A and B are shown apart, each in its own frame.
Chain A
């Protein structure tokens, strides 16, 4: 990672929370996760986010590729319900410890 510029941190992603897996009362389906995106409160607002990439970033003890940080990539699939919750699929399923954790929802692939 080039640390050419210091200091200016730009946030080009929207914060999201991992709520859990897609589930019914007593069964859960871990291949799809539910994400609450900050500021998105209705089904219609989710349309902008559909297809956008997201990343779940976590730390590990062992350095991989020169860093302790690791990432699972995924994307927004479709809305879930009427209140802005979103379904997301990740490259590999999210680990259960990620529930309640932060996810970054990026603004690309962009359509504006």
Chain B
């Protein structure tokens, strides 16, 4: 059979609950079109001659462990999350106010939305100390101030860029246990610092044009006496 490029097939017979499928045996016979295949083949199911049995190259490894009771196979779940919808007020170049975390109150520039739904944001670092960072939409207020971001290239960043560095664990012998357990905390690798500078360089040029914008981004937002958030226009 000529191997065609097929997309992975969704099952024709979904599981309703564990152990119970939607269609019966005869219904599946009909759904799979076996009646049509048989009809094409003159009333019989087509079969090819058995090839010479391929020598069992590798003896199947007998499993050492069999569970005592039958282990139930978990239901397959093919549900996929939809990407988080970006609020209409948040467009690339919007100034956002971060509400929570280390940088609460800081005004930052929105770059783009990552595939995980989180927002990619930068201070710029020189102005308010916020590096290129991810932030959740719910913890952010969008202001109406927009910055021109056309010069900024943020393609380098994706969710994998921000993943934690996994260090290989080495099995320690007794003597090594007491020696130098702590490896010095890795400072930020130079590439990340350079990425930050690259993004900020382009951004800072755009910021120069607007009066007071740098000071605005450097200042933090705070509620003062008499300010009512539900009446504020951001």
Binding site for B on A (CB under 8 A): 2, 4, 8-14, 38-40, 45, 47-49, 106-112
Q: Is B140 located at the chain interface by the 8 A CB criterion?
A: yes
- Residues A13 and B223 in contact, CB atoms below 8 Å apart: yes
Given contacts A106-B99, A108-B99, contact A40 B230 (CB under 8 A): yes
Binding site for A on B (CB under 8 A): 87, 89, 99-100, 102, 104-105, 137-142, 220-224, 226, 228-231, 234
Known A-B contacts: A14-B228, A47-B230, A110-B141. Give 20 more (CB < 8 A): A4-B102, A9-B222, A10-B104, A10-B105, A10-B220, A11-B223, A11-B224, A12-B105, A12-B222, A38-B228, A39-B230, A45-B231, A48-B229, A107-B229, A108-B100, A109-B139, A111-B87, A112-B87, A112-B141, A112-B142
**Cβ-closest chain B residue relative to A11:** B223
- Residues B138 and A12 in contact, CB atoms below 8 Å apart: no
B193 to chain A minimum Cβ distance, whole angstroms, is 18
Residues of A within 8 A of B140 (CB): 110
Which of A10, A47, A109 makes the CB contact (< 8 A) with B138? A109
The number of inter-chain residue pairs (CB within 8 angstroms) is: 59
Which of B87, B99, B142 makes the CB contact (< 8 A) with A12? B99
Across the A-B interface, the 9 shortest Cβ-Cβ residue pairs: A48-B230, A10-B105, A109-B138, A39-B228, A10-B222, A11-B223, A108-B99, A108-B139, A10-B220
Residues of B within 8 A of A48 (CB): 229-230
**Cβ-closest chain A residue relative to B104:** A12
Residues of A within 8 A of B137 (CB): 110
B185 to chain A minimum Cβ distance, whole angstroms, is 14
- Residues B99 and A110 in contact, CB atoms below 8 Å apart: yes
Residue contacts A-B, CB under 8 angstroms, 13 given? A11-B223, A12-B221, A13-B223, A14-B228, A39-B226, A40-B230, A45-B230, A48-B229, A107-B229, A108-B99, A110-B141, A112-B87, A112-B89
Which of A11, A38, A109 makes the CB contact (< 8 A) with B222? A11
Residues of A within 8 A of B234 (CB): 112
- Residues A12 and B100 in contact, CB atoms below 8 Å apart: yes
A53 to chain B minimum Cβ distance, whole angstroms, is 9
Residues of A within 8 A of B104 (CB): 10, 12
- Residues B228 and A12 in contact, CB atoms below 8 Å apart: no
A96 to chain B minimum Cβ distance, whole angstroms, is 29
Most chain A C-beta atoms within 10 Å of own C-beta, residue among B89, B100, B229, B231: B229
Given contacts A10-B221, A10-B222, A109-B138, contact A49 B230 (CB under 8 A): yes
A19 to chain B minimum Cβ distance, whole angstroms, is 19
Given contacts A108-B100, A112-B234, contact A14 B139 (CB under 8 A): no
Given contacts A12-B221, A109-B138, contact A40 B102 (CB under 8 A): no
Cα distance A112–B137 when bound, in Å? 10
B130 to chain A minimum Cβ distance, whole angstroms, is 12
Residues of B within 8 A of A112 (CB): 87, 89, 141-142, 234
Residues of B within 8 A of A14 (CB): 223, 228-229
Cα distance A90–B200 when bound, in Å? 42
- Residues B223 and A110 in contact, CB atoms below 8 Å apart: no
